[in-house]
Structure 1
Amino acid sequence: MAKDITTLADIVRTHGVSRASDNSLIEGERTRTWGELYERSIRVANALQAAGVGVQDRVAFLDKNSIEHFEVFYGCALINAVSVDINWRLAPPEVEFIVNDAAAKVLVVHADFWPVVEAIRANLTTTQLIVVIGGTGGDIDYETWVKSGATTDPGVESTSEDVAFQLYSSGTTGRPKGVMLTNNNFFVMLPGARTFWKLSDNMINLVAMPLFHIGGGGWATAGQFVGSSSIIVREMDPNAVIQLIEKHKITHGFLVPAVLQFMLMMPSVKEADFSSLQLMVYGASPISLEVLTNSVETFKCDFMQVYGLTETTGATTLLPSEDHDPKGPNAHRLRSCGVPAPGVEIRIIGANRHR
């Protein structure tokens, strides 16, 4: 089915029908089948339209990893609007800047972060509706809002060049910059990712890294592209991640080296069953040889390093699993960031600007 998917909306439209009874999302004790995710995304889409959100309008989302992220993400996609995920660690003035810079018409926020929004509400220049997940304080609570939406797919089509997801950079040279990722940005990458990450519809995917970051959001989208089940981690607890791998027989995951290091420090790691793991992807920061060696020995699965950035929709280089043997002939490559990912061209330029 994945070969027929060319936009983010196609993901939920396709799997929502062909895999309707299969689990799409699991977060704690909550689950959504693909059919349920499609139906609720449709309701979100129609509720957004009723709030005045049109083609390519922005919808801001402020929460930790959650099922609601995906409902809003795909709800936007179904009407060719743009989801803007906001870093929940930001201070109120920074959140205010992003919501206004994106010109978001609707802001969906979890009750945990309502104090942030309450502090800036009077300064939001384009936001017409504030929806609160799991609480009150905005214009309407999330569940009431979702139920208000019609159950018929609005049928809005999007093109490869339409913006689908907008993430904000760290702003190292000033204010954060909105990085506009199109459907084409994703779908130039996703078919290749299916091959080099060995993604399949029967994989169980660990979604533990922040979804407001291209690492977490891109990884989650790659798994959903093939129709997999995603296990969502809201609060990063290394011991809980170990338990989730065992409980759900997780096959694929993406983690940063610091999390791998903390997992190795947990007493429970020695007795845990990691036999279901097939691939662990890591990146976003350097990894020490000790942590990498111990991770390979402990989890006993393939490891792959990725290096990328938001503007490239994720991975630009890969260090493949065959180069992760500290005792093998390619051990020296462990200090490398790998080779260009499929479809990527890299040029190395010296200080004199020559190749």
Structure 2
Amino acid sequence: MFHNLADIVRVHGRERPHARALIVGDETITYGELDERSNRVAQAFASAGVGVGDRVAFVERNGAEFFDVAFALAKLGAVGVPVNWRLAAPEMRHVIADSGASVVVVGQEFVGHLEAIESELDATIVVVGNHDRWPTFERWVTGHPAVDPGVVTGPDDLVMLMYTSGTTGLPKGVMLGNANYVCKTGGVAGPWKFDADSVSLAVMPLFHMAGFGWALAGLWEGATTVVLRDVDPQAILDAVDRHAITNMLLVPAVIQFLLDTPGLDDVDFSGLRVIVYGASPIRDDVLVRGMRRFGRIFAQVYGMTETSGSITQLDGADHVPHLLRSCGKPYPWVRIRIVDTSGADTSGADAAPGVVGEVWTRSDQNMLGYWNNPDATAATLTPDGWIRTGDAGYLDAEGYLYLHDRLKDMIVSGGENVYPAEVENVLMTHPDIADVAVIGVPDSRWGEAVKAVVVAARGSQPTEAALISFARTRLAGFKLPKSVDFVDALPRNPSGKILKRALREPHWTGRDRHIG
């Protein structure tokens, strides 16, 4: 039984030192080697003054270094801050500065982002690659002894700070402790069909809960994890062929890419035990094609960063027509409630089966709270431990959860959360825009696409291309509007609030729900 993240490599490194832990490109790293590598990195961090509770940010694509750093910090009692490398430099600055990270480990590809914000940070910067001023990660670690610092952390000690977008437009740091990971990671081995003989594919970005949580689930069981640097359908097929992958997690857009990739029929998928999917909508035809090609091995999950990832699952056997729009049942250790939001009563009364309300959940997976944000914590986490998800849905008579809409305005595009307020705030700084609303509209590939509805400033005639280009220098690519509509005025209620439902409705007409 593991009690914290560090135990994963400490125990497997001691008991199964020669078992394969990671395969990254042509490099194979055993559990014994991963234990030693993370010990050296821990000593390097300690020499830089990193101790219990200190934060370290990591900005890089998937690779062995992510695991070196994550387990090193766990052994020190320090806190990992995985940064979404898709963010623009000012967005990275907010995450790094808000977390108070004293060290930033950055990949060569993203050095320019850090150079742009260096003067605004109070942190040591280490580069996975080369730099004329900053130390390289390899040299920074070399020479330190492979000695475990031996710090033992408790259930409620903070271990990861994962940033998720907020309705105010600024990302919030979700505080996750050992107990969160122990509950989730220790529980999903059965539902996700993991054991020590599994060969898992880690292809989703590790800064995401979907990426890191999935990789941990395999490592927890002592499985081999094949790490891909990027989401590349051809590389996925090659990995399945070369390494006989048994377990993988993909977002729906990647499943669709995979089904359309040349050479798909030449790959042997008979060893696959499960394909877990979630994080964004999936079209029925894509799912049907997937089941026809891969078999009834799909498992849909629903969750959020604040719940350490998935809390419900629709198993392969439940992928039948009348249940395909459900996201399954909660795990045995998770409780789900549907709370009535229709009236003035805000006491948290349960809605009847089949009646739409807000989805609430409680389990040991629930976050400790938001970093340095007590107001947001109080608005999301009830005193008795329930998380208000902000999603609207209902439970049927058999306990299956169906999502209906979002109580908040979040857009989920290709598995990435986009909050309209953040995009609107950027667009409103353009001199040719008088008013703007950002909504999510259906998209056959990404589930939802970002659309801006713009009122041009008097005497101006902005173009769609110009506005998207303006936003591109200020926002991550996945947050950019994919299209822009121009209108004379935005619909508002008597108090002046924009009626986004009225803007969304024409795009969603004829669909059974407005959420993935």
Scaled by the length of structure 1, the TM-score of the pair is: 0.95
Q: Is the 8 A contact 1:59 1:107 kept in 2?
A: yes
* Equivalent-residue separation in structure 2 for 1:206 and 1:301 (angstroms): 19
- Residues 1:38 and 2:28 aligned together: no
Q: Structure 1 pair 148/234, CA: closer, same or farther in 2 (3 Å)?
A: same
Looking at both structures, which has the greater relative contact order when contacts are Cα pairs under 8 Å and sequence separation is at least 6? 1
- Residues 1:262 and 2:257 aligned together: yes
* Equivalent-residue separation in structure 2 for 1:135 and 1:217 (angstroms): 26
* Equivalent-residue separation in structure 1 for 2:132 and 2:70 (angstroms): 23
Which amino acid is 1:60 matched to?
Answer: A
Q: 1:209 aligns with which of 201, 204, 209?
A: 204
- Residues 1:200 and 2:184 aligned together: no
**Deviates most, 104-113 or 336-345:** 336-345
* Structure 2: runs of 5 or more not aligned: 352-516
- Residues 1:275 and 2:270 aligned together: yes
Partner residue in 2 for 1:147: 142
**Deviates most, 264-273 or 165-174:** 165-174
- Residues 1:246 and 2:241 aligned together: yes
Partner residue in 2 for 1:237: 232
Q: Deviations over 1:154-175 (max 9, x none)?
A: 1111111111111000233221
* Equivalent-residue separation in structure 1 for 2:104 and 2:50 (angstroms): 11
Q: Structure 1 pair 301/201, CA: closer, same or farther in 2 (3 Å)?
A: farther
| Cα RMSD after superposing both structures | 1.2
- Residues 1:29 and 2:19 aligned together: no
1:121 is paired with a residue of what secondary structure?
Answer: helix
Q: CA deviation at 1:138?
A: 4.8
- Residues 1:309 and 2:299 aligned together: no
Partner residue in 1 for 2:66: 69
Q: Structure 1 pair 138/77, CA: closer, same or farther in 2 (3 Å)?
A: farther
* Equivalent-residue separation in structure 1 for 2:152 and 2:17 (angstroms): 21
1:115 is paired with a residue of what secondary structure?
Answer: helix
Which amino acid is 1:21 matched to?
Answer: H
Which amino acid is 1:323 matched to?
Answer: D
Partner residue in 2 for 1:6: 3
2:165 is paired with a residue of what secondary structure?
Answer: coil
- Residues 1:19 and 2:9 aligned together: no
Which amino acid is 2:328 matched to?
Answer: G
Q: Deviations over 1:269-299 (max 9, x none)?
A: 1121111111110000111111111111112
* Equivalent-residue separation in structure 2 for 1:119 and 1:263 (angstroms): 36
1:119 is paired with a residue of what secondary structure?
Answer: helix
- Within a 5 Å distance, the mapping from 1:117-156 to structure 2 comes to 117-125=114-122, 127=123, 129-156=124-151
Partner residue in 2 for 1:114: 111
Q: Is the 8 A contact 1:278 1:301 kept in 2?
A: no
Partner residue in 2 for 1:159: 154
Q: Is the 8 A contact 1:317 1:337 kept in 2?
A: yes
More helix by share: 1
Q: Is the 8 A contact 2:205 2:230 kept in 1?
A: no
2:176 is paired with a residue of what secondary structure?
Answer: strand
Number of aligned residues: 345
Partner residue in 2 for 1:337: 327
Q: CA deviation at 1:195?
A: 1.8
Q: 1:218 aligns with which of 187, 190, 213?
A: 213
* Equivalent-residue separation in structure 2 for 1:225 and 1:138 (angstroms): 38
Q: What stretches of structure 1 move > 4 A for 4+ residues in a row?
A: none
2:188 is paired with a residue of what secondary structure?
Answer: helix
Q: CA deviation at 1:242?
A: 0.9
Larger Rg: 2
Which amino acid is 1:347 matched to?
Answer: R
Scaled by the length of structure 2, the TM-score of the pair is: 0.66
Q: 1:187 aligns with which of 182, 186, 206?
A: 182
Q: Deviations over 1:135-193 (max 9, x none)?
A: 22453111111113221111111111111111000233221000010000111122220
* Equivalent-residue separation in structure 2 for 1:198 and 1:263 (angstroms): 22
Q: Structure 1 pair 146/301, CA: closer, same or farther in 2 (3 Å)?
A: farther
1:145 is paired with a residue of what secondary structure?
Answer: helix
Q: Structure 1 pair 157/198, CA: closer, same or farther in 2 (3 Å)?
A: same
Partner residue in 2 for 1:346: 336
